[in-house]
Chain A
């Protein structure tokens, strides 16, 4: 009997579709992980001359059609889809301070990992 109107139902658009489109601009490993990182590890890195802008661009692509909301931490955003898949953006990660995007699918498909975390770091 939930009493809250909450943020309403999410759009039926699919994070999976957005993910596939994002791969055109942000290459993935054969297993579907963006950027670079250890084999099997779920934390990845994308190197960029403008890490924050690049992260914002990726979040914009991945969040399309989802229910977007601000998170309590400054600048942080989330986009949730009706199937429970979601993408989070934080301008400052707790671990190394870099912008970070988290992607999770409750029902992963082939070549699309269930979860990954991407840090955007300044290119050296």
Chain B
């Protein structure tokens, strides 16, 4: 089976893991819509003592017999664009002061079974969930192709309303798709394969 992989790097996972145990503070972006639930450009988030940025990039993959631009996320240290975001009021403080208990990675796996191409698998880390002592915040791509991100908040991880990863995969007689989403604690991924998760 041919594999196509757009996962968080080991460095990304370490930066996300570093949020655990800190007190949550805020998230923001230079371009936020719909009451802070849709970021059209890169985002940042901060705890009491750390901050990271979530960058959406694109990569060309020939997954479906033709090159498509797939989006993927990567993490950088520090708050990129925080000054512009602050100026336009694009900071959100839900669950401020609550301790971060876990970070989960949202991993989508698309299996394609095509009459001509055979079997192929696409694995994408579509986002992550920050669980605090009072509620959870998910940062998740809204599409396999777009570079924007949806922000969802809920009291529990289970009740987060994430985008439906099956939306963009329509099976036909000649091509069948199976889409599976898993939510994995970041430290579990780091323990399994610390250098190449």
A and B held together in a complex? yes
Q: Report whether A3 and B91 are in contact in the complex, using a CB–CB cutoff of 8 Å.
A: yes
- Please give the number of chain B residues whose Cβ is less than 8 angstroms from any Cβ of chain A in the complex: 49
Interface residue B83 (Cβ < 8 Å from any Cβ of A)? no
* A115 near B144: Cβ-Cβ < 8 Å: yes
Chain B residues with Cβ under 8 A from A7's Cβ? Answer: 31-33, 88, 90
Which residues 53-73 in A have Cβ within 8 Å of B in the complex? Answer: 67, 69-73
Residue A102 CB within 8 A of the other chain? yes
Distance of A9 Cα from B37 Cα, bound (Å):
11
Q: Is A16 an interface residue (CB 8 A)?
A: no
Which of A10, A43, A72, A106 lies in contact with B33, CB distance below 8 A? Answer: A10
B159 sits at the interface (CB 8 A): no
B-contact 0/1 string along A97-124, CB 8 Å cutoff = 0000010101110000111110000000
Residues in A neighbouring B143, C-beta threshold 8 A: 104, 114-115
B34 — which chain A residues lie within 8 A by C-beta?
9-10, 80, 82, 84
B188 within 8 A of A: no
A4 part of interface (Cβ distance < 8 Å): yes
The reply to whether B58 and A94 form a contact with Cβ atoms under 8 Å apart is yes
Contacts of A41 in B (CB 8 A): 64-68
Taking a contact as CB atoms under 8 Å apart, the answer to whether A4 and B91 are in contact is yes
A69 CA / B32 CA spacing, docked (Å): 10
Question: Contact: B66 with A6, CB < 8 Å?
Answer: no
- Beyond contacts A4-B90, A40-B175, A80-B34: 20 other A-B pairs, Cβ-Cβ < 8 A, are A4-B88, A6-B33, A7-B33, A10-B33, A10-B34, A37-B66, A41-B67, A41-B68, A42-B168, A78-B31, A86-B148, A88-B147, A95-B58, A95-B60, A102-B146, A104-B142, A106-B142, A115-B143, A115-B144, A115-B167
Judge if B4 is at the interface, Cβ distance under 8 Å: no
Residues of B within 8 A of A9 (CB): 34-35
B interface, CB within 8 angstroms of A: 26, 28, 30-38, 40-42, 57-58, 60, 64-69, 81, 84-85, 88-94, 96, 142-148, 150, 163-164, 167-168, 170, 172, 175
Q: Which of the listed residues B66, B91, B172 has the most CB atoms from chain A within 10 Å of its own CB?
A: B66
With both chains docked as a complex, state the minimum distance between the C-beta of B30 and any C-beta of chain A, in angstroms: 6
Contact B33 A80 (CB under 8 A): yes
Instruction: List the A side residues contacting B67 at CB < 8 Å.
Output: 41, 43
Q: Which residues of A lie under 8 Å from residue B35 when comparing CB positions?
A: 2, 6, 9
Task: Tell me how many residues of A have a C-beta within 8 Å of chain B.
Answer: 40
A37 to chain B, nearest CB (A): 6
13 contacts between A and B (CB under 8 A): A3-B89, A7-B32, A7-B90, A40-B172, A42-B168, A72-B30, A72-B84, A80-B38, A80-B40, A86-B38, A94-B58, A104-B148, A114-B168
Docked CA distance A69–B143 (Å)? 20
CB-contact partner of A84 in B32, B142, B172, under 8 A: B142
